[in-house]
């Protein structure tokens, strides 16, 4: 089917980025959230990010104005039902995602494709709670969405070929590259990335190095643009922990056991940049200060 309109559930870090790139690619976008403040903040952030692209001559002012005109918002989940493609980008908790899809079902068209931006949760299991497992798949963008070129496309066990082709055509129109992943816990990127971050936390926990030395070692020793602890703060330590729990529970292998220090930081509410404290403290005016 031809996709022209996209509904996005969630106006957070991922949702607003997805809305940004979809509107810029010519799709009509409607973004839903339970918070009007979150919706207002998302639209303002998209506007700022598009303005930055104009200033860098990546797009024209007309492109920006047209893209902003394609974005609408709503507090009523049912309003996104008539769209051709729905991308769920809510918090990384399976019960929340299941509830969203159950609430959407009475309001969507027979042809609507349902997708989740989940970074780790079983697509097959999410799809099984809907009336269209064949029209359901994983649509995993990388953060920050406007910058990162990869999208993981994950088929559930029932996903049909027309659904895959329709989603692949969207990725192509966005100017991004699709990597096809099978539906196993955390797919490709996070199956590899999260254990590395978790091991960096273990290295900190066991006193092998401090925050500064661990991040410096990986940046200068392996040419990573960002150290693993700095990256964990950027992603959100709660998200990192949630993915490690999915890996540990889904694969039943002790090598995926979340580091107790990661759990402790999350329990303290030190979730990284979004709470101004994680492995670094971001509350000062200068450079972030390591917390260990």
The catalytic position among 120, 152, 198, 230 is 152
Q: Which of 49, 116, 117, 190 is catalytic?
A: 190
Active-site annotation holds for 119: yes
190 is catalytic: yes
Q: Is 97 annotated as a binding residue?
A: yes
- 7 labeled binding residue: no
Is 143 known to sit in a ligand binding site? Answer: yes
Three-state SS sequence of the chain: CCCCEEEEECCCHHHHHHHHHHHHCCCEEEEECCCHHHHHHHHHHHHHHHHHHHHCCCCCHHHHHHHHHCEEEECCHHHHCCCCEEEECCCCCHHHHHHHHHHHHHHCCCCCEEEECCCCCCHHHHHHCCCCHHHEEEEEECCCCCCCCEEEEEECCCCCHHHHHHHHHHHHHCCCEEEEECCCCCCCHHHHHHHHHHHHHHHHHCCCCCHHHHHHHHHHHHCCCCCHHHHHHHHCHHHHHHHHHHHHHHHCCHHHCCCHHHHHHHHCCCCEHHHCECCEECCCCCCCEECC
Question: Is residue 13 annotated as involved in ligand binding?
Answer: yes
Rounded to whole angstroms, the Cα distance separating 93 from 81 reads 22
How far, in Å, CA of 245 to CA of 265, rounded?
Answer: 15
Nearby residues of 121 by Cβ (< 8 Å), 6 or more positions away: 92, 94, 97, 246
136-141 and 150-155 strand pairing: antiparallel
* Ligand-binding site membership of 12 (annotated): yes
10 marked among binding-site residues: yes
**Any known ligand binding at 33?**
yes
The answer to whether residues 122 and 250 touch, using CB atoms and an 8 Å cutoff, is yes
Say if residue 218 carries a ligand binding annotation: no
Catalytic residue among 32, 119, 120, 122: 119
Concerning whether 140 is annotated as a catalytic residue, the answer is yes
Q: Is 119 annotated as a binding residue?
A: yes
Identify the active-site residue in 49, 88, 122, 140.
Answer: 140
Binding residues: 10-15, 33, 92, 97, 119, 143, 274
Binding site membership for NAD(+): which residues? 10-15, 33, 92, 97, 119, 143, 274
Residues designated as active site? 119, 140, 152, 190
């Amino acid at each position: 089917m031809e996709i022209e309109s996209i509904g996005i559930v969630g106006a957070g870090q991922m949702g607003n980025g997805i809305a940004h790139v979809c509107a810029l690619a010519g799709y009509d976008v409607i973004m839903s959230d339970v918070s009007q403040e979150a919706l207002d903040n998302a639209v303002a952030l998209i506007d700022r990010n598009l303005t930055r692209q104009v200033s860098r001559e990546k797009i024209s002012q007309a492109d920006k104005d047209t893209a902003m005109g394609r974005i609408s918002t709503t507090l009523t989940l049912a309003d996104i039902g008539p769209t051709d493609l729905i991308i769920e980008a809510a918090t990384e908790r399976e019960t929340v995602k299941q509830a969203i899809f159950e609430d959407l079902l009475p309001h969507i068209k027979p042809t609507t494709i349902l997708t989740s931006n989940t970074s780790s949760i079983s697509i097959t299991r999410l799809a099984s709670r809907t009336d269209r497992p064949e029209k359901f798949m994983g649509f995993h963008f990388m953060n920050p969405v406007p910058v990162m070129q990869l999208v993981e496309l994950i088929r559930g066990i029932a996903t049909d070929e027309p659904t895959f082709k329709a989603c692949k055509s969207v990725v192509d129109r966005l100017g991004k590259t699709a990597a096809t992943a099978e539906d196993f816990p955390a797919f490709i990127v996070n199956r590899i990335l999260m254990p590395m971050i978790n091991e960096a936390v273990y290295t900190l926990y066991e006193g092998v190095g401090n925050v500064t030395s661990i991040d410096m070692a990986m940046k200068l020793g392996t040419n990573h643009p960002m150290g693993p602890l700095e990256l964990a703060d950027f992603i959100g330590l709660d998200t990192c922990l949630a993915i490690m729990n999915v890996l540990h529970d889904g694969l039943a292998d002790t090598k995926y056991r979340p580091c107790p220090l990661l759990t402790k930081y999350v329990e303290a509410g030190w979730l990284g940049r979004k709470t101004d404290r994680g492995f670094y403290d971001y509350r000062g005016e200068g450079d972030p200060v390591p917390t260990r």
